[in-house]
Homo-oligomer: A and B are copies of this chain.
Amino acid sequence: MMELTRKGDYAVRGIVYLASQPPDKISLLSEIAAAVDVPQTFLAKIFQQFSKTGIVKSFRGTGGGFMLACPADEITLLQVVEAVEGPVLPNRCVLKPGECERDSFCTVHPIWLQVQKQIRDILGNVTLKDLASS
């Protein structure tokens, strides 16, 4: 249970690669895909999402490619995985109060909230800088 999808896994690989490059270098999608061993067409979709959520900047045309939108130590693992996988939600009922008609008497509800918080805490405290320095 609780598994990350391949998309999430690939997303992390790809952006960690970006973070390990010189800060102002623009990397080609083809280069990233080859380096982290992910199908290029699939990685393209992932980086489009990154681009939309603003954690990477993209440039088209000759000399184009991708680079981080901010310094590696200002992007957390949480931002990366939530960008492609959506918010961390151990159970639907955690979405918001009232979402689940059982929540008034559901004793498990607070446990899921606690799980959600812990996961977010861990992932939110790891930056790309931490991950890139290997």
Contact (Cβ within 8 A) A122 B114: yes
Contact (Cβ within 8 A) B1 A8: yes
Give the number of copies in the complex. Answer: 2
Kindly state the separation between the CA atoms of A87 and B2 in the bound complex, as whole angstroms: 9
Query: With a CB–CB cut-off of 8 A, which chain B residues contact A115?
Result: 119, 122-123
Q: Mark each residue of chain A from 123 to 134: 1 if its CB lies under 8 Å from any CB of chain B, else 0.
A: 100100011111
Residue A82, interface by CB 8 Å: yes
Stretch at the interface among A43-51, A56-64, A104-112: A104-112
**A interface, CB within 8 angstroms of B:** 1-5, 8-9, 12-13, 16, 37, 77, 81-82, 85-93, 102, 105, 107-108, 111-112, 114-115, 118-119, 122-123, 126, 130-134
A-B contact pairs, 10 of them (CB 8 A): A1-B85, A1-B88, A2-B4, A2-B88, A2-B119, A3-B90, A77-B111, A107-B134, A111-B131, A118-B122
